Amino acid sequence: MKKVAIFYRFLPQYRVDFYNKLRESLAEEGVELSLIYGKSIDGNAAKKDEVDLPWATYVQHKIIKIAGIDFIWQPYLKYVKDKDLVIVEQANKLIVNYILIFYRYFAKFKLAQWGHGRNMQIDEKSLANRFKNKLITACDWWFPYTEGVKQYIVDKGFDKNKITVVQNAIDTVTLSKEYDALPQSQVEELKSQLGIDSENIGIYCGGIYEEKRIDFLIEACDKIKKQIPDFHLIVLGSGKDAFKVKEAQVTRSWLHYLGAKFGAERIPYFKMSSIFLMPGLVGLAILDCFATKTPMFTTTYPYHSPEIEYLVNNENGVITENNIEAYVNGVVEVLKDKSKLEKLIQGCEKARTIYNNENMVNNFKNGILKCINQN
């Protein structure tokens, strides 16, 4: 039996379905999957979205300071033994990656990288990204998140025949089914509890930290409220900047901060909302929008994650210019024109059949099989 291991720093709740299905899918092909993971001990821990998986192996990592920079030591080397393929997160600060890059020349396993190709939240010409570019070709296979990331990797010299685009996703199928099945009566009851008597509701759901631009969101919503008097905003999530939302809601009866919500408990809030507001960094949240037919409104913020590629402007979401006036106008225009809103909803419904865990699992499985069976 062929054996594959994935090394990852942490295990977020949204990845559980993917790992379970990938394990089952590979087992059907006679391949054993191991997952070795730790838990965040940095800013990610504030998101409160990490879980455990019974069949996976938890091994806590440590932070080691080198020249004032935080590196992460993952004591995972013993799990390389008898593996045909080891898949690692592409990240400069992971010490074990450097060891594996050299170790693979003296062992029988292949090494694959899984990631964005570069840190999209900083300048492409930064020292960190230039260093990361040097290591793009230091592996046997690549699992980029999206087609755009694939092109970036190819441009940096990696063999296009040894790349599998995974089409990064979450479990939108289950989320979609639960969304469609939720009775409207439950939604109306919850709206009543929140004191909301309106259809003009926006939702924000995700981590609440600097790159999400919470100050921009609140200021924009203040201006939206002036043009649409019955507008309400629901905020779900946690993070370092959550205090800004808590403070803002004290003087805004139309702003409802409800803390972190996961899985099915988010659905009633999405179902009562007409649009999703995220003017800052967009990543996997776009998939929540597709699954719940709640169009995303964002900006041309320069540091989005790769999943922004899934948003087709004015078809399944809206991307405005990167300023508050343009953002407010974009939101107000759609909320006042239900035909435009309906077009976006239909676009989301179409997109949710394309971007889902089933397709991601199939892509990942096929890439793994191709890699381990190739001489």
User: CB-hemisphere CA count at 13 Å for 288?
Assistant: 28
Over range 160-185, report the average pLDDT: 95
| Predicted confidence (pLDDT) per residue in 286-309, tens digit | 999 999 999 999 999 999 999 999
Q: Does residue 337 register a pLDDT over 80? A: yes
CA quadruple 354, 355, 358, 360: dihedral positive or negative? positive
Confidence class of residue 126 from pLDDT cuts 50, 70 and 90? Answer: confident
Whole-number Å distance between alpha carbons of 148 and 144: 9
pLDDT, tens digit, for every residue of 351-366?
A: 999 999 999 999 999 9
Q: What is the pLDDT of residue 48?
A: 65
pLDDT over threshold 80, residue 41 = no
pLDDT of residue 46: 52
Q: Are 124 and 96 in contact (CB under 8 A)?
A: no
Task: Indicate the pTM of the whole model.
Answer: 0.85
Checking if the pLDDT of 138 tops 90, the result is yes
269 vs 125, more confident: 269
Q: Give the per-residue pLDDT at 121.
A: 81
Would you state the pLDDT for residue 47?
A: 57
Which domains are seen in the chain, by residue range? 2-169+356-372 (3.40.50.2000), 172-351 (3.40.50.2000)
In terms of C-beta density within 10 A (0-12 exposed, 13-18 middle, 19 or more buried), how is residue 97 classed? buried
Model confidence pLDDT, tens digit, residues 14-32: 999 999 999 999 999 999 9
What DSSP string describes 178-215? HHHHS-HHHHHHHHHHHT---S-EEEEES--SGGG-HH
Q: Check whether 91 has a pLDDT greater than 60.
A: yes
Q: Please give the full DSSP string across 57-103, using - where no structure is assigned.
A: EE---EEEEETTEEEEE---GGGGTT-SEEEEE--TTBHHHHHHHHH
Q: What is the pLDDT of residue 40?
A: 84
List phi, psi (to 5°) of 201.
-120, 130
Burial 210-223 (b: 16+ CB within 10 A, else e): ebbbbebbbbbbbb
What is the percent of the chain where pLDDT is above 70?
Answer: 98
What does the alpha-carbon distance between residue 205 and residue 342 come to, in Å, rounded to a whole number? Answer: 21
110-125: average pLDDT: 89
Give residue 69's pLDDT band: very low, low, confident or very high (50, 70, 90): confident
Using only the alpha carbons of the chain, give its radius of gyration: 22
Copy the structure tokens of residue 138. 């230091």
CA dihedral 58, 59, 60, 62 (to 10 degrees): -150
Q: Identify the residue with better confidence: 35 or 65.
A: 35
SS3 304: coil
Nearest by Cα to 282 from 309, 315, 245, 261: 309
On the 0-12 / 13-18 / 19+ scale of CB atoms within 10 A, 155 is exposed
Six-digit token pair at 278?
A: 């995220």
* pLDDT at residue 262 in the model: 87
Q: Looking at this protein, which amino acid is placed at residue 284? A: L
* pLDDT tens for each residue of 176-223: 999 999 999 999 999 999 999 999 999 999 999 999 999 999 999 999
pLDDT at residue 83 above 70?
Answer: yes
Compute the distance between CA of residue 105 and CA of residue 276 in angstroms, rounded to an integer. 48
- pLDDT higher than 80, residue 44: no
Q: pLDDT at residue 62 above 70?
A: yes
